[in-house]
């Protein structure tokens, strides 16, 4: 057993038993520690070919990517040059500029060059498993990865893990070279939507599970290039569950009772001011083309109506151009439309209730709303509707 400093990694230790074999070695008992990361397993090396082959089976406990040490490469010492027989004391080595935290809502992709050249240095079969793996994506339980490295390409034969109460399974490949390439086939099963916490325009998922598939392939010299060149397709399915922030059943019930103006005037509190809506099914396609992810037919079938979306996200720019439609069961042809555009983290929201307003006026409810608001049917009804749907956080 030995402890050592590897570059800037001060806290390292390794224990192994090496058995020389023809053109290589066996390491049947290997332990490695770098900081808080501890790895155990077996390894076999074969150096009979120009490119060495390393086969390994490795196991670890809980891995936190944020706690891992940075690059082990040490800064080379600076020799002090002499000037006219006197030693010149140089300034200290230039310190790297601190990396600014990405602005809120900024794209998570970098223009820094991808360096996957390590894939070209060795061949072999690797099986890696851990108790858990944590990072910006959350926490993966019992992840297991089996990969084949051959001639500069890492083929992911299988990856499986528990995630958000469900499971993730994936396969794919990554290649180095001048322009790295990536391919992923992913299957999600039974993810808990409440733990995923998706939210849009003041609405949030309170319960329900989601499953889906996604196939992606891309290429690029940086992660931003990879995002901009992404192509693929997918499908999502889910339900039953519930969403918070809106009570479609209450809105639909009160709009259907034209004589009860008091109930209509309180919709902001009883309908869009909170409450929950049960849904029976969530479904939709995903189409990825040239770095733009589009869901043209996302549908959430709910009690009292439905929510539909035609959404798109530009991955490289991290912007959205999307339309969300809220349709009430009693007025299926006149949806409330929410348009989102701009930065994904803070898009501009515009609520269009014109079609619903016209339908209410034609049905006679608009005139009643106008009297309750102290004006004619068209203007009074429109004013009340504008207030009703302000809960979406947009402009009318």
DSSP 247-302: -HHHHHHHHH-TT-HHHHHTHHHHTTTS-EEEEEEEEEEEEEETTEEEEEEEEEEE
pLDDT at 73 exceeding the cut of 50:
no
CA distances from 379 to 82, 331, 393 (A): 86, 20, 21
The Cβ of residue 84 has, within 10 Å, a number of other Cβ atoms equal to 5
Q: What is the DSSP letter of 131?
A: E
Confidence at 93, pLDDT banded by 50, 70, 90? very low
- The stretch 286-297 carries a mean pLDDT of 96
Q: Helix (H, G, I), strand (E, B), or coil: what is residue 42? A: strand
Q: Where are the alpha helices (DSSP H) in the chain?
A: 193-196, 223-228, 248-256, 261-265, 267-270, 354-363, 365-373, 377-388
Calculate the average pLDDT of the chain: 79
Q: Rounded mean pLDDT of 225-248?
A: 92
- Give per-residue pLDDT as tens, 199-225: 666 677 889 999 999 999 999 999 999
Confidence of residue 78 (pLDDT cuts 50, 70, 90): very low
Phi-psi region of 347 (alpha: psi -120 to 50; beta: other; left: phi over 0): beta
Q: What is the mean pLDDT of residues 261-268?
A: 45
Highest mean pLDDT among 28-42, 140-154, 377-391: 140-154
* Top-ranked range on mean pLDDT: pick from 40-49, 77-86, 383-392: 40-49
Choice between 265 and 119, residue whose per-residue pLDDT is larger: 119
Residues 238-259 pLDDT 10s: 989 998 877 888 777 766 664 5
Residue 198 vs residue 18, higher pLDDT: 18
- The token pair at 27 is 């390491």
Total H helices, total E strands in the chain: 8, 23
Q: What element of type H or E holds 212?
A: strand 209-219
Q: What is the pLDDT of residues 6-24, one digit of tens each?
A: 444 566 788 888 899 999 9
3-class secondary structure, 114: coil
* Minimum mean pLDDT range among 24-28, 128-132, 271-275, 282-286: 271-275
8-state DSSP, 117:
G
In whole angstroms, give the CA distance from residue 19 to residue 14.
Answer: 16
Query: For residue 235, how far is the Cα from the chain centroid?
Result: 16
**Buried b / exposed e across 264-294, counting CB within 10 Å, b at 16+?**
bbebbeebbbebbbbbeebbbebebeebbbb
Rg for the chain, CA atoms, rounded:
29
The whole-angstrom separation of Cα 43 and Cα 14 is 14
Whats the size of the chain, residue-wise?
396
What per-residue confidence (pLDDT) applies to 24?
93
Residue 97 has pLDDT above 50, yes or no: no
Residue 37 is predicted with a pLDDT of: 86
């Amino acid at each position: 057993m030995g402890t050592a400093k590897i570059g800037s990694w001060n806290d390292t230790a390794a224990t192994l038993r090496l058995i020389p074999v023809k053109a290589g070695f066996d390491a049947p008992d290997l332990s490695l520690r770098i900081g808080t990361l501890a790895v155990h397993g077996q390894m076999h090396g074969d150096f009979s070919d120009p490119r060495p082959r390393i086969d390994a089976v490795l196991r670890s406990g809980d891995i936190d990517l944020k706690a891992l040490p940075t690059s082990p490469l040490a800064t080379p010492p600076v020799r002090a040059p002499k000037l006219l027989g006197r030693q010149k004391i140089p300034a200290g080595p230039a310190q790297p500029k601190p990396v600014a935290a990405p602005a809120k809502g900024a794209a998570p992709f970098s223009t820094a060059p991808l360096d996957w050249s390590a894939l070209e240095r060795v061949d072999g079969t690797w099986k890696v498993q851990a108790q858990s793996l944590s990072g910006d994506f959350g926490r993966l339980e019992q992840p297991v990865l089996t990969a084949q490295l051959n001639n500069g390409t890492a083929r992911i034969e299988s990856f499986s893990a528990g995630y958000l109460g469900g499971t993730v399974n994936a396969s794919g490949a990554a290649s180095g070279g001048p322009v790295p390439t990536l391919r992923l086939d992913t299957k999600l099963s039974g993810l808990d939507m409440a733990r995923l916490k998706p939210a849009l325009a003041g609405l949030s998922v309170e319960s329900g599970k989601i499953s889906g598939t996604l196939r992606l392939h891309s290429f690029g010299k940086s992660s931003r290039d990879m995002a901009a060149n992404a192509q693929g397709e997918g499908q999502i399915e889910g339900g039953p569950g519930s969403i918070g922030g809106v009570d479609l059943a209450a809105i639909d019930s009160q709009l259907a009772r034209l004589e009860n103006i008091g109930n209509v005037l309180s919709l902001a509190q009883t309908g869009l001011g909170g409450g929950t809506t049960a849904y029976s099914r969530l479904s939709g396609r995903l189409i990825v083309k040239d770095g733009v992810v589009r869901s043209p037919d996302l549908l959430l079938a709910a009690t009292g109506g439905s929510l539909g979306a035609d959404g798109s996200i530009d991955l490289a720019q991290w912007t959205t151009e999307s339309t969300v439609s809220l349709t009430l069961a009693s007025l299926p042809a006149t949806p409330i439309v929410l348009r989102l555009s701009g930065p994904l983290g803070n898009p501009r929201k515009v609520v269009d209730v014109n079609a619903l307003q016209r339908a209410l006026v034609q049905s006679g409810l608009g005139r009643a709303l106008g009297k309750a608001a102290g004006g004619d049917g068209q203007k009074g009804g429109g004013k009340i509707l504008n207030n009703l749907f302000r809960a979406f956080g947009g402009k009318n």
